[in-house]
A = this chain, B = another copy of it.
Amino acid sequence: MPVPLYQVKAEFFRMLGHPVRIRVLELLGEGPKPVRELLADTGVEASSLSQQLAVLRRAGIVTSEREGSTVTYALAGPDVADLMRAARRILTEMLAGQAELLDELRESDTAAAGK
């Protein structure tokens, strides 16, 4: 009995659904990076970062390699970067749509926009 595909997809998306994990994936999109650097770029605490890296590793979306005393992470494949690009495009378009909507609303309601 195979796990249904929509379930796999849901797990995949859920795995992406965390700010730190997103940032890490985007940073790794530029190329492999040692933990030290991820730590500096994200500003989160070492053990928090490690927890999130573990999630990404378990999902098989990143790989880690130890060289001496430092550990370097990389995207497991080029597809991930593709997905992040797709997501970026979609979100910008969606946010732009919402901005337009807001503008339209403002036109008919110039004074009372309290919040």
Contacts and interface: CB of A to CB of B under 8 A. Distances in A.
Contacts of A26: 6
A14 interface: yes
Q: How large is the interface on A (under 10, 10 to 19, 20 to 34, 35 or more residues)?
A: 35 or more
Interface of A: 4-19, 21-23, 26, 60-61, 76-77, 79-80, 82-83, 86-91, 93-95, 97-98
Contact of A4 (B14, B17, B19): B19
Contact of A82 (B5, B7, B60, B90): B90
Contact of A60 (B15, B18, B94): B94
B22 A17 contact: no
17 contacts: A6-B26, A7-B19, A8-B91, A9-B22, A9-B91, A12-B17, A12-B87, A13-B22, A14-B16, A14-B18, A76-B97, A77-B94, A77-B97, A79-B89, A79-B94, A83-B90, A86-B86
